[in-house]
Structure 1
Amino acid sequence: MEHNTCFHCGLDATSSNIIFNDKLFCCNGCKTVYEILSENDLSCYYDLQQAPGATPKEVEGKYNFLDNEKIIEQLLEFNSDDTQIVTLYIPHIHCSSCIWVLENLNKLNTSISTSTVNFGKKTVRVTFQPETLTLKDLVLLLSRIGYEPFISLDDYSVGKKQVNRSLIYKLGIAGFAFGNVMFLSFPEYFEVGEFWLEQFKPLFRWLMFAFSVPVVFYSAQDYFISAYKGLKSNILNIDVPIALGVVVLFLRSTVEIMFDWGSGFFDSLTGLVFFLLLGKFFQQKTYSFLSFERDYKSYFPIGITKILENGTEESIQVYDIKKGDRLLIRNEELIPVDCILIKGNARMDYSFVTGESKTVSKQSGDKLFAGGKQLDGSIEVDVLKSVEQSYLTQLWSNDVFKKDKALAFTNITNNISKHFTLAILSIAVLATAFWLVADSSKALNVFTSVLIIACPCAIALAAPFTLGNILRILGKKKFYLKNASVIEQLSKINTIIFDKTGTITANKETRIDYQGLHLSHEEETLLKSTLRGSNHPLSRSLYQILNQNDILTLDDYTEHLGQGIEAKYKNQNIKVGSASFVGHYTETATLNTSVHISTNDTYKGKFTFYNAYRKGLSKLFNKLKNEYDLAILSGDNSGEKENLTKLLPSKTKLIFNQKPEDKLEYIKHHQTEGAKVLMVGDGLNDAGALAQSDVGIAISENVNVFSPACDAILDASKFNQLHNYIRVSKSAIKIIKWSFLLSFIYNCIGLYFAVTGQLAPVVAAILMPLSSVSIVFFTTIATNLIGRKLK
């Protein structure tokens, strides 16, 4: 960097005379940013890129509107006494150093807990403590370090929806220049003499040079920036050979016209950049279409209980929720919308949103935010606004819950690209060296053609397009995966473990009988109110068959996972659960699952459940038995063992009386022996097991209890299709490998013609995006054919 430029932003600082630590700055803003970064041990920010910052603008008074509570409420994504979350659109995000400094905001201000950058959308999601840092202070801090947010109060989402049109502009300039350069090259092509030779040859050549300059320095700049950053980080990315080819073509062509050695290769140069950008534009458009198509998580098969005006309850899908609706939120249930607490005791766990499991108590009239989980019985709320599907998606995919179960398949692609680039550079150098000796006139063409024809874009495209389309297809078939890496993990499993109750049993078809003492009206009402607050499959089944009664607001409610529920209303206590939990130790072994009742420490009786298993269960297990080790882990007693033995294949392991922690340990033990485990559970009691497994699938019967621990949600009606879904994941990996093979064959053929000097750079530039298109076409057709086979 020159001595008269600003150390922070790179602008001219000749007349500023602002020097700090022997470094020159163009203004006090840049100097302040440097001081902030230095004081907080963040000066290595400048090692990532020279002059990476932006000149801080004068913002004093500009954000006074952020003192208005109503405006703050509109902008905040989450707002509680000790935590606020906001997502800000930062137009200036442009490189790795931007990401680095914005994700280290907690070092600049300790009131900031976390900050996560979405580079594609140019947003940063910041979690901070409002007691010590206001939203206005946060915005001013970002502005001071050169990352002023864009905030539109009319429609805040406008900033987030802005489209980056720079690729379109670069493509337009490259296309315009390419057309004109080709036109100016016609006399050279047709070897027109006389008038052309004497009068206009130098002019046309310099015009071609003039048209090429903006193409190289503007249209192709992304390739140079990417290659530079890669090399600076000791990474050989896919843009290195492209940037090298562009530089060589431009320098060689400029030298030729300067010394009148020839007309250069400006037509090939502009054509190369144009076709590269055209391929990039096509890829971007196609992938954004796929991304839109696979916004499957907006339609989770998750329901909520709506309380109608006549007091009856109705289960509706979350995206049917409207402002003004009254909802029933059960224990362990997620609140899908912002709402007002009307009835009941709310103890909210906002770990879905903040990543911290600290609970907060709320009173009637308090506002509750989407993403909170109720932990203290049932509550009733009034809806403030309809559900935002993208917000539910964000909750499920929150970085806080990401677990490195395995390397994503894209990482494998990147590794292939790295070795590929190294090999191509070696081939280009060796081929050029050979032709410099054999025929120096062909050396440059060979060098550039090799670099262009062998671009590994097709390899890089294979995985995202295949996995993206598979995600979309499975989503339409009601199998919802958290991300693309789950497909690869699903293809590798060799062991499948099922929970019993609510997973292989169909709750809606279960028959229930009561044996015991008569329950008084008050006891039955208390039982109904207690069961109403639970999301356990047995509780939900039992709740449905009891007579409608007035619902009480319980004074106390506690749910013990894997054991039962206890509740209190005035002077009445009730326990619902296992025999030992309610204090009934004389219970003899039964052949069926039972739920026992005791009130005021007096045993009343039991409800016996006669399980109805899901349709196609036996057929599904028989399909799975040849490829996978199968096991059922149940928290119930072994009463169902005889029925399951008849129903399932002989090799299926049946293990009963398992607590949630026992299931987790069972999975962990088998993983240490090399097993790749798929766990299928109900998402509530099985959260630990789902998280421990290589892939965790939660079965959903329109219940809003999905967990961040699961990797996929399977609609209960599609349970018998599980084997087909696993088979699709394996087919997806095969498609990617076939795509790699096709790309390899294409590159081998192209390299043969390039190395032997038979391929012009402009032809290579046309063929390269065509290879990318062919890969996209192949993966799309192949994945759609697989999708058609699914029922």
Structure 2
Amino acid sequence: MENKTCFHCGDDCGHHPITFQDKSFCCQGCKTVFEIFNENDLTCYYDLQKSPGAVPKEIEGKYDFLTQENIIDKLTEFRDDNLEITTLYIPHIHCSSCIWILENLNKLDPNITGSQVNFGKKTVRVTYKNTTNLKSVVLLLSAIGYEPYISLDDFSAGKKEINRSLIYKLGVAGFGFGNIMFLSFPEYFEVNEFWLEQYKPLFRWLMFALSLPIVFYSAQDYFISAYKGLKAKILNIDIPIVLGITVLFVRSTIEITWDLGSGFFDSLAGLIFFLLTGKFFQQKTYDFLSFERDYKSYFPIAITKINHEGYEETIQVYDIKKGDRILIRNEELIPVDGILINGNAKIDYSFVTGESQTLRKHSGDKLFAGGKQTQGVIEMEALKSVEQSYLTQLWSNDVFNKDKEEGFTNITNKISKHFTLAILTISLIATSYWLFRDPSKAMNVFTAVLIIACPCAIALSAPFTFGNLLRLFGKHKFYVKNASVIEKLAHINTIIFDKTGTITSNRKSHAKYAGTELSEEEHQVLKSSLRGSNHPLSRTLYSILKANNIETLDTFEEHIGKGIVVQHKTLNMKIGSASFVGSPEERSVLNTTVHVSSNNVYKGKFTFYNSYRKGVSKLFNTLKKHYDLVILSGDNEGERENLKKLLPAKTKLIFNQKPEDKLEFIKYHQTEGAKIIMIGDGLNDAGALAQSDVGIALSEDVNVFSPACDAILDATKFNTLYQFIKASKSAIKIIQWSFVLSFIYNVVGLYFAVTGQLEPVVAAILMPLSSISIVIFTTITTNFLGKKLK
């Protein structure tokens, strides 16, 4: 009786398979998984790959510890009354079918609201309702063949495990290649008598046997990738390789079967061995460079720490330690898990969950990193230090990604696709020619052409150029969200600046008060109100006012672009624009002012005297040669004459702009063909930053960690803005030169391959070398750009 294979996992079912719906299963676990898929209309999972599941392990009772609160706290990154979020490391993730099923967990369990796979790190981030629990999620994953790796001592330790499958495949290919070469020696040296008389058939069939694990195990990743590409109607770079391997194997098998020759088993084994060797060294090269990790290590956000004496100081978030007392202002992001000490906390966790529902928290409640305070100022105690990668993960959350561009990598993929088509055509023409001219060379030519012209060098140009530039920009305090932003920077033709806090410096500005003298209580409430706001004028005025006892306000409301309304006991105060607080002054007064009213009685105003950033005039004069410049300010026209003297002629100066006015201004000019950078703060200009092609938030000791911006520029580097844009343009040129180098390499290689002067084994050695040379070229040239940024 012939043994059947399991429909789910592909293992041998033995003599007594479990049958369900005319399908065979090796165990109840695999049958259960199929039933789950079948009940939830997910059996198309099996269309992606034959027998894709892993054998479920015996897990009864194994995860009972996941019901303990202290362990759940350690393994979850977010918990509230409705949702929990955890990231689990799953070693078994290996292909597109894994991604597909893991991102459809919500169809298997309606309590799971979302799941997102990071294929490179082999993790899945699961968001689920509190009606289920972490244990149930882990059991579900284990039941469908994706048991997580959980380490309570160091949860990240599992992520550091090395995937050794490439090493094993390389070992098998190397063993087979060496022995096939040894068995081929009689053929090489034409030892006719001994070879022909007794052992020729045996040696040839031994070479065939040794080639089987090389082709069907060592080279399987190429076949799987090519198959999935064809199924998705994509001509990927593995298709030419697979064609070459298949032709060599089939031709060699036919030759030894019909005694036509010894075949090309030595070339076949060498080809796969050197391909895998190149792949191994490429992987080591990529791990060494590791742009993403380096970039994240430079990513800072400022936060206010309250020291033991009660004084406030600004520090970078990665300097936060467990037990530190930190201040979170209105609209600021909570950078680290902590306990609320005092203040009215109204937290928006949409940064983490994607749902814009705010939660009230009270003193003693736990606050999670990624939440945004939306009502005044709060104080909290940090429970741990900051994890840099978690912050950047939040910043790059797909919930906030706006499709602003066709990425440069898409262009690269198109080139690769057309390149593959061209190579297939060239290989067929060349092979047809040699079949008539010299049939003995035809197979070698066909294989060498397919291998030597692999377009992976082209495909690597953009990711490595942009990746290294991301890291270098970060070193120079310009933090870009992703690589596509760099490409957008290179195509900008218009730059729009906010005024207050952007081209002016909060630290050097000063203000004078005119009006009815404020009482001690009003001074205290005013200071407490300003303390909770991130607006540049609020921050400036807060630093100017004399020290007062800080009061916890009963209510705090900040109306973006208008002002603040607060209440403390019986005192109601408004701080903001003249119209907002009910000032009797006319709107045409030409000064930057902040007005104050108390219990609906107008008290007076603070008049600001701006100090412009160092190098503003020089920067604008440089930018004006290449771009249209606009100042788009929410302030009145008090600084128009000063700006005219400071900035180059024909710079557009537009004042009295509300946040929605700025957004509409950008939207209109984009319809007219403008490619726009908007530079402002991360609070008032959020809409304009999101609408622009590239939104840059300027950071001056302010937590401007906003999903609206595409980049964050340290205020001390403001006068080097043009250098960053220029470097982005140079990056495009580097990629173009990489394409040229790849093209030259392929033309030269194709010449030798088409003319029959290049063996497939040599082509297999040269192909990964070309990829590594492109990586080295892009790295060296972008590092040279980085030196220019200094």
TM-score, L = length of structure 1? 0.96
Q: Which runs of 5+ in 2 are unaligned?
A: none
What residue identity is the alignment partner of 1:319? Y
Q: 2:299–2:474: 8 Å Cα contact kept in structure 1?
A: no
Q: 2:278–2:765: 8 Å Cα contact kept in structure 1?
A: no
Cα distance in 2 for partners of 1:267, 1:4 equals: 35
What residue identity is the alignment partner of 1:228? Y
Please report how far the alpha carbon of residue 688 of structure 1 lies from its aligned counterpart in structure 2 after TM superposition.
Answer: 1.0
Cα distance in 2 for partners of 1:108, 1:66 equals: 20
- Tell me the SS of whatever aligns to 1:78: strand
Cα distance in 2 for partners of 1:94, 1:781 equals: 33
Cα distance in 2 for partners of 1:588, 1:564 equals: 16
Cα distance in 2 for partners of 1:98, 1:301 equals: 35
Cα distance in 1 for partners of 2:13, 2:281 equals: 42
2:697 counterpart of 1:698:
yes
Please give the per-residue CA displacement for 1:559-610, whole angstroms capped at 9, x wherever unaligned. Answer: 1100011111111111111011111032453333111111111211111111
Correspondence list, 1:442-521, <5 A: 442-521=441-520
Range moving further from structure 2, 387-396 or 244-253: 244-253
- Are the structure 2 counterparts of residues 564 and 262 from structure 1 closer, same or farther at C-alpha, using a change threshold of 3 Å? same
Q: Which residue of 2 aligns with 1:124?
A: 124
Please report how far the alpha carbon of residue 524 of structure 1 lies from its aligned counterpart in structure 2 after TM superposition.
Answer: 1.0
- Are the structure 2 counterparts of residues 541 and 15 from structure 1 closer, same or farther at C-alpha, using a change threshold of 3 Å? same
Please report how far the alpha carbon of residue 28 of structure 1 lies from its aligned counterpart in structure 2 after TM superposition.
Answer: 2.7
What residue identity is the alignment partner of 1:335? I
Q: Which residue of 1 aligns with 2:727?
A: 728
Q: Which residue of 1 aligns with 2:103?
A: 103
2:635 counterpart of 1:620:
no
- Residue correspondences, number: 789
Please report how far the alpha carbon of residue 186 of structure 1 lies from its aligned counterpart in structure 2 after TM superposition.
Answer: 4.1
- Tell me the SS of whatever aligns to 2:512: strand
Q: Which residue of 1 aligns with 2:274?
A: 275
Cα distance in 2 for partners of 1:667, 1:93 equals: 43
What residue identity is the alignment partner of 1:658? Q
Cα distance in 2 for partners of 1:455, 1:656 equals: 56
Cα distance in 2 for partners of 1:3, 1:709 equals: 59
Cα distance in 1 for partners of 2:776, 2:734 equals: 12
2:242 counterpart of 1:243:
yes
Cα distance in 2 for partners of 1:652, 1:39 equals: 65
Please give the per-residue CA displacement for 1:435-465, whole angstroms capped at 9, x wherever unaligned. Answer: 2122211111111111111111111111111
Please give the per-residue CA displacement for 1:219-252, whole angstroms capped at 9, x wherever unaligned. Answer: 2111011011111222111001101111221232
Please give the per-residue CA displacement for 1:71-126, whole angstroms capped at 9, x wherever unaligned. Answer: 11111011111010001111221211111111111122221111101111111101
Over aligned residues, Cα RMSD in angstroms?
A: 1.9
Q: Which residue of 1 aligns with 2:382?
A: 383
Q: Which runs of 5+ in 1 are unaligned?
A: none
Q: 1:573–1:600: 8 Å Cα contact kept in structure 2?
A: yes
Q: Which residue of 2 aligns with 1:9?
A: 9
Q: Which residue of 2 aligns with 1:25?
A: 25
- Are the structure 2 counterparts of residues 423 and 333 from structure 1 closer, same or farther at C-alpha, using a change threshold of 3 Å? same
What residue identity is the alignment partner of 2:28? N
Q: Which residue of 2 aligns with 1:783?
A: 782
Q: 1:301–1:700: 8 Å Cα contact kept in structure 2?
A: no
Cα distance in 2 for partners of 1:204, 1:15 equals: 37
- Using the aligned pairs only, state the percent identity: 74
Q: 1:505–1:614: 8 Å Cα contact kept in structure 2?
A: yes
What residue identity is the alignment partner of 1:118? N
- Tell me the SS of whatever aligns to 2:635: coil
Q: Which residue of 2 aligns with 1:83?
A: 83
Q: Which residue of 1 aligns with 2:748?
A: 749
Task: Give structure 1 regions of 4+ aligned residues with deviation exceeding 6 angstroms.
Answer: none
Cα distance in 2 for partners of 1:270, 1:617 equals: 64
What residue identity is the alignment partner of 1:50? K
Q: 1:409–1:485: 8 Å Cα contact kept in structure 2?
A: yes
What residue identity is the alignment partner of 2:281? F
- Are the structure 2 counterparts of residues 87 and 703 from structure 1 closer, same or farther at C-alpha, using a change threshold of 3 Å? same
Q: Which residue of 2 aligns with 1:174?
A: 173
Q: Which residue of 2 aligns with 1:591?
A: 590
What residue identity is the alignment partner of 2:436? V
Q: Which residue of 1 aligns with 2:664?
A: 665
Please report how far the alpha carbon of residue 679 of structure 1 lies from its aligned counterpart in structure 2 after TM superposition.
Answer: 1.0
Cα distance in 2 for partners of 1:411, 1:186 equals: 48
- Tell me the SS of whatever aligns to 1:508: coil
Cα distance in 2 for partners of 1:45, 1:118 equals: 19
Q: Which residue of 2 aligns with 1:370?
A: 369
Cα distance in 2 for partners of 1:220, 1:531 equals: 65
What residue identity is the alignment partner of 1:576? I
What residue identity is the alignment partner of 2:104? N
Range moving further from structure 2, 198-207 or 80-89: 198-207
2:417 counterpart of 1:418:
yes
Range moving further from structure 2, 519-528 or 29-38: 29-38
Please report how far the alpha carbon of residue 196 of structure 1 lies from its aligned counterpart in structure 2 after TM superposition.
Answer: 5.7
Please report how far the alpha carbon of residue 185 of structure 1 lies from its aligned counterpart in structure 2 after TM superposition.
Answer: 3.7
- Are the structure 2 counterparts of residues 395 and 21 from structure 1 closer, same or farther at C-alpha, using a change threshold of 3 Å? same
- Tell me the SS of whatever aligns to 1:509: coil
Please report how far the alpha carbon of residue 644 of structure 1 lies from its aligned counterpart in structure 2 after TM superposition.
Answer: 1.0
Cα distance in 1 for partners of 2:604, 2:649 equals: 35
Q: Which residue of 2 aligns with 1:357?
A: 356
Correspondence list, 1:594-673, <5 A: 594-673=593-672
Q: Which residue of 1 aligns with 2:573?
A: 574
Q: 1:294–1:475: 8 Å Cα contact kept in structure 2?
A: no
What residue identity is the alignment partner of 1:608? T
Q: 2:474–2:480: 8 Å Cα contact kept in structure 1?
A: yes
2:673 counterpart of 1:684:
no
Q: Which residue of 1 aligns with 2:341?
A: 342
Cα distance in 2 for partners of 1:197, 1:253 equals: 18
Q: 2:298–2:475: 8 Å Cα contact kept in structure 1?
A: no
Please report how far the alpha carbon of residue 161 of structure 1 lies from its aligned counterpart in structure 2 after TM superposition.
Answer: 2.0
Q: 1:301–1:715: 8 Å Cα contact kept in structure 2?
A: no
Please report how far the alpha carbon of residue 177 of structure 1 lies from its aligned counterpart in structure 2 after TM superposition.
Answer: 3.4
Q: 2:291–2:468: 8 Å Cα contact kept in structure 1?
A: no
What residue identity is the alignment partner of 2:370? G
Q: Which residue of 2 aligns with 1:51?
A: 51
TM-score, L = length of structure 2? 0.97
Please report how far the alpha carbon of residue 18 of structure 1 lies from its aligned counterpart in structure 2 after TM superposition.
Answer: 3.2
Correspondence list, 1:281-360, <5 A: 281-292=280-291, 295-360=294-359
Range moving further from structure 2, 604-613 or 212-221: 212-221
- Are the structure 2 counterparts of residues 17 and 216 from structure 1 closer, same or farther at C-alpha, using a change threshold of 3 Å? closer
Q: 1:631–1:654: 8 Å Cα contact kept in structure 2?
A: yes
